[in-house]
Structure 1
């Protein structure tokens, strides 16, 4: 690969990160708007009903894509027959899952002794079909690094879903708003993705052409199954043992803390996976691209997550209202888990881009043991106990995960510690200052001081390393270019 191609790939990745970052900012704002508005129209129990269904639905939905989307992005060469077969695999799987959800409704109602989650799981088949017919289109846009199109699809989906959710919340004042709103958003996003991608399926299907892609997808699906099982067992057990109220508190805390991290990780995955796949034969370049992305992600998220943990009582009261203050201890522990989870999630890029999906599946087995063990250990103490045990398990698994995920790549375990340590230390110092001053000043002042301290120290600590200085210079250039684009220009007088 020549220098011009290197520059082209780097520029595409940079543009993609900027565009997708904008779309994720819109998604975060819509999530916050939904949190502030919808949460005051509904009750913790309404959210608990949806959270009862989420573990079952997310586990089954893994079979909707069968890991074929990642295979489409990772493969260097694809034929039209392979692409067409992947589309029809996704459609067939989506139709089967939609019918299965309808049949599953009575069983879910019996398990929870509550008919409401049974109705919701049956109706969820509509959303399954709305998303299933567009999985390939999104994968093709990602493969071609058409990040502007992906950004528009994401923003339209988020905004349409938000508006619909608010309308249904005002008119129904029930949990149905939380199901129907995302359904409307999914329809809007699907229509737009079809228009953007331009590819159309053929009825001439050669199933055998996709065997190689399916082998890749099976290992990814195996990991996703284990990951979803372990990550959603907490919701099922809390609902079964403690009821919808406790689950509603836990679910809102989890989503409030994890949503910003997930919305940042998703666009970066779209940029980094195709970029890493293209430079797999260049070890040093592969390492540099990966660590640059992870360092930037850590710098943006980790200090804020630790400050959020230290100010959990104030954040819950401000965003969710007084009726949700019981969720503050849950939010505290989940925020501590989030402070390191951003790097743990990024290790998936190493597994997939390097083609080590079998190792990824095997790690899924060990990771599931950690997570399930923590849920069972914390369950006697309710949702707060589960959150605390989960945070502990996230910290304990770090040495194993870092070694496992970097094996066979040019990235080393020490590299992951090095990108995490500066922001982690800065956030810890800021948290100490918050706890010392929180009884002596206004809540908003304490939070503002914590944020400024955390990001100020993180900037200073990163500046001690060459890679850190390069990252800060990159952020400066992005900010400068963005401001320059919208700076007022002098008017040119007409001749």
Structure 2
């Protein structure tokens, strides 16, 4: 697979570099805003985030994923899909303005009304942006994607920090999202090169609409599994508890945002185009799966077993009450790190109906766990979430791999070293904490993080599947070091 490998290597380098820079900006925003604003401010905004997430499901309508997995699409068909998406975005934005008083009444929090109404603008701007981003992904323009992501996040972060410094208001958190989305829209149009033109009849894109409908139903089901916890805490416990929960959730979510999403962008186009070559498809997925686990699992283990130290060091001592929530959510994240990349299989193989069914069942299951845990407050919700994810992961692994080129045995062999590393690292981190008398110190975090990644790397020598990944990684590194310069804008082989 030389051409795919060259594209993948260059895409991974560009995407990885952009991801690291984005992670730095995101951590900067988390750290600075946590010191400028109160937990209650984050709680108020966290009441609105589920509303935004719910509206975004219909604004996107799954059309982007449908375009991404389609083998060919004409400019007229793209224009039809684009204007359909924009019309839906305008409608959803108007509905957010209309329901904003009802949302404020539900939470009994008047500050939520203005935030919900303002979120309508996010829907319209997002609708104008999504297809340009998808087309950059489809053309594997990884350099331009990285540039758009990085600059837009930098603008949004600067706007949020400036607002927090001047006004100490929860509106700073909203402007982080709006500033990033609006900047992404302008940059995607400027760098994407595509413009809508004459439209095609809807009949020519009915397969896209059908696929998008299944993806929308799947996302709608997933929504409740990802947001019901925040809705329950905000409605029945309050803004302060939700503020603690939301910050913990945001930090724990970083691996998904900065590893799974870039990996999805990188691999899904290649996986979709290799459907007729089962061996290539299988190897691409297994290598990407192991890469995502290697990057994310050790750091997540650190969050799970050393939450007090990380909370004090990163957010400050005023957030120490959130440490138990951090620990439980990090454990839940371990389950999500296992099953998150599996979505690439559903999308790249065109299995949208199966994705929808699995999302519906998973969402109902997780929602029940949230309700059960609510009795014990925000910590109880996080604990119930963690336990449910650890039980759900094996079932999802089986369901996703029961058909297609990637078998359950191959996926399990790829996962095995990380399960071994989890047990060893968990025990080691508990012991390492006792060796450091001062919690939250930089030496402890450096020592613990280094040890976690070193143990994980050693565990990857236990079977041939993971040893193949290590050899491939060394080979790719050698190719990169000897390749000379890389053309960043465009992301194609020079």
The answer, yes or no, to whether TM exceeds 0.5 is yes
TM superposition shift of 1:484: 7.1
Q: Which moved more, 1:193-202 or 1:240-249?
A: 193-202
Counterpart contact for 2:267–2:288, Cα < 8 Å: yes
Counterpart contact for 1:434–1:446, Cα < 8 Å: no
Deviation per residue, 1:127-161 (Å, 9 max, x gap): 22222111111111111111111110000111111
Counterpart contact for 1:306–1:428, Cα < 8 Å: no
TM superposition shift of 1:420: 2.2
1:308 maps onto 2:303 in alignment? yes
How many angstroms apart in 2 are the aligned matches of 1:92 and 1:134?
13
Q: Could you state the TM-score of these two structures normalised by the residue count of structure 1? A: 0.94
How many angstroms apart in 2 are the aligned matches of 1:197 and 1:102?
31
Q: 1:421 to 1:464 in 2, by over 3 A?
A: closer
Question: Paired residues, what number?
Answer: 482
1:35 maps onto 2:25 in alignment? no
Counterpart contact for 1:303–1:339, Cα < 8 Å: no
1:323 maps onto 2:321 in alignment? no
Q: Which moved more, 1:432-441 or 1:377-386?
A: 432-441
How many angstroms apart in 1 are the aligned matches of 2:160 and 2:404?
44
SS in 2 for 1:397: helix
Q: Which moved more, 1:185-194 or 1:115-124?
A: 185-194
How many angstroms apart in 1 are the aligned matches of 2:26 and 2:482?
29
Partner of 2:175: 180
Q: 1:303 to 1:239 in 2, by over 3 A?
A: same
SS in 2 for 1:134: helix
Q: Could you state the TM-score of these two structures normalised by the residue count of structure 2? A: 0.94
How many angstroms apart in 1 are the aligned matches of 2:142 and 2:431?
44
Please show how residues 386-401 of structure 1 align to structure 2 within 5 Å. Answer: 386-401=381-396
User: What are structure 2's unaligned runs of at least 5 residues?
Assistant: 486-494
Partner of 2:134: 139
1:459 maps onto 2:481 in alignment? no
Equivalent residue in structure 1 for 2:192, among 190, 197, 200: 197
1:438 maps onto 2:436 in alignment? no
Q: 1:471 to 1:140 in 2, by over 3 A?
A: same
SS in 2 for 1:332: helix
Which protein, 1 or 2, shows the higher relative CO under an 8 Å CA cutoff with sep ≥ 6?
A: 2
TM superposition shift of 1:423: 2.2
Partner of 2:221: 226
Equivalent residue in structure 1 for 2:74, among 52, 72, 79: 79
**Structure 1 stretches of at least 4 aligned residues deviating more than 4 Å after TM superposition:** 477-487
Q: 1:412 to 1:204 in 2, by over 3 A?
A: closer
1:101 maps onto 2:96 in alignment? yes
Equivalent residue in structure 2 for 1:154, among 141, 145, 149: 149
SS in 1 for 2:404: coil
Partner of 1:236: 231
Q: 1:285 to 1:482 in 2, by over 3 A?
A: closer
Counterpart contact for 1:307–1:427, Cα < 8 Å: no
Q: 1:324 to 1:481 in 2, by over 3 A?
A: farther
Counterpart contact for 1:85–1:209, Cα < 8 Å: no
TM superposition shift of 1:254: 0.6
Partner of 2:87: 92
How many angstroms apart in 1 are the aligned matches of 2:447 and 2:426?
10
TM superposition shift of 1:97: 1.1
Partner of 1:3: none
Q: 1:418 to 1:164 in 2, by over 3 A?
A: same
Counterpart contact for 1:304–1:427, Cα < 8 Å: no
User: What are structure 1's unaligned runs of at least 5 residues?
Assistant: 1-5, 488-495
Equivalent residue in structure 1 for 2:43, among 43, 48, 67: 48
SS in 2 for 1:438: helix
SS in 1 for 2:271: helix
TM superposition shift of 1:479: 5.0
Partner of 1:491: none
Partner of 1:19: 14
Equivalent residue in structure 1 for 2:162, among 167, 173, 183: 167
Partner of 1:369: 364
How many angstroms apart in 2 are the aligned matches of 1:450 and 1:66?
43
Q: 1:372 to 1:169 in 2, by over 3 A?
A: same
How many angstroms apart in 1 are the aligned matches of 2:398 and 2:419?
20
How much is the aligned-residue C-alpha RMSD, in angstroms? 1.8
Equivalent residue in structure 1 for 2:273, among 272, 278, 281: 278
Counterpart contact for 2:432–2:448, Cα < 8 Å: no
Equivalent residue in structure 2 for 1:449, among 436, 447, 450: 447
TM superposition shift of 1:471: 2.2
Equivalent residue in structure 2 for 1:355, among 345, 350, 354: 350
